Amino acid sequence: SRNYKVASIPADGFGPEVVSAAIEVVQKLAEISKTFTIEFQHIPWGTAYYKQHGKYVEDNVLEVLRRYNAILFGSVGATDVPDHISLWGLLLAIRGPLQLYANVRPVRTFPGTLSRLRDTKSGAPDIDWVLVRENTEGEYSGHGGRSHRGQKWEVATEVAIFTYVGIERIMRFAFSVAQARPKKLLTVVTKSNSMRNGMVLWDGVALEVSRDFPDVKWDKMLVDAMTVRMVNSPGSLDTIVGTNLHMDILSDLAAALAGSLGIALSSNLDPTRKNPSLFEPVHGSAFDITGKGVANPVATIWSTAEMLGWLGEGEAKDTLMQAIENVCNAGVLTADLGGTANTKEVTQAICEELEKLGTRK
């Protein structure tokens, strides 16, 4: 059987709670399917590691990660370290340097759960979107600085970098994602009315790349108007592509509209497959519920389903998604989705569902 080695970085807050739930589910799936085995190796990077070593990761972070087929990440961020230190110390020290340039964030309403939009009088349809986030450039390029610190004339810059190469590769990726979906529909999000350089380049590259995908219907939206369209006509959207910062914001909105941040996952892909890709929930460390055992594990479990799909285990991915859907449909939901189950109960229910699906084959 095929054998995979995955780096597990649960990191901070309730990251360890959701990552261990996801690993439990994947191991159950591997045991039932018998077609693959998967070994998760724990990497202790995070805020506790930082307090001990003065840094969030080892110096040879990329070399260490390249030993694995994939990376499963929990969440980083702690109440006693400034967020920009922890995030640039760990997660952003991986995404850019490993060139995981395609951040794919599927969002959909699971059966049995409530979308915020489902019962509006327009009879809005359930959400089924794929958000494609450029993951290395824009405001996340790391360029910027502060001068005259503490003075009244202090100046701070946060430079948004956009390159032709960076835009072209994410645009081509997004058009292919759209092309592979039934609706073949892509919306390109920018802000090219007020932002006259990078955003105008985005529009131009979109037009150029679109010529190679004549069967994909595509349109452009300004990001402010896009928030309104997501709420008022969710059924008019399918695949969506945009900049690093715009899609960071829109993906939280999308998750909340579809039901909860607790189901939203993020695949940080290197489409060239030179480097291992990283899979993680979209949410952060959730200080308010850490240690209470009530976290929704679905986002992280869905992350592992996408990871299996990326590794070539399409059948295992489909089985796992079916199990998640059945459990949601049966009403085994955490509080964020309006239910009363805790993390353990949802995890257990998904494992039991996998057993049922396995014996039915």
By CB under 5 A, name the binding residues for Mn ion.
248
**Residue 267 interacting with ligand NAD (CB under 6 A):** no
The item of Mn ion, ligand IPM, ligand NAD, none sharing an interface with residue 283, based on CB under 5 to 8 Å by kind, is ligand NAD
**Residue 46 interacting with ligand NAD (CB under 6 A):** no
**Residue 299 interacting with ligand NAD (CB under 6 A):** yes
Buried b (16+ CB within 10 A) or exposed e, 199-231: bebbeebbeebbeebeebebeebbbeebeeebe
**Residue 288 interacting with ligand NAD (CB under 6 A):** yes
**Residue 188 interacting with ligand IPM (CB under 6 A):** no
**Residue 91 interacting with ligand IPM (CB under 6 A):** yes
Site string for ligand IPM, 264-293 (x = CB under 6 A): --x---------------x-x---------
CB nearer ligand NAD, residue 69 or residue 285? 285
- Which one among 44, 48, 53, 83 touches ligand NAD, defined by CB under 6 A? 83
Buried b (16+ CB within 10 A) or exposed e, 58-76: eeebeeebeebbbbbbbbb
Choose the stretch contacting ligand NAD; rule: CB under 6 A; options: 180-188, 195-203, 216-224, 288-296. Answer: 288-296
**Residue 85 interacting with ligand NAD (CB under 6 A):** no
Q: Nearest distance from residue 83's CB to ligand NAD, in Å?
A: 4
**Residue 94 interacting with ligand IPM (CB under 6 A):** no
- Which one among 289, 316, 324, 333 touches ligand NAD, defined by CB under 6 A? 289
Q: Evaluate whether 243 touches 277 at the Cβ level (below 8 Å).
A: no
**Residue 195 interacting with ligand IPM (CB under 6 A):** no
Choose the stretch contacting ligand IPM; rule: CB under 6 A; options: 34-42, 87-95, 113-121, 235-243. Answer: 87-95
CB nearer ligand NAD, residue 15 or residue 242? 15
Residues that bind ligand NAD (CB under 6 A): 75-77, 83, 87, 91, 261-262, 280, 283-289, 295-296, 299, 334, 336
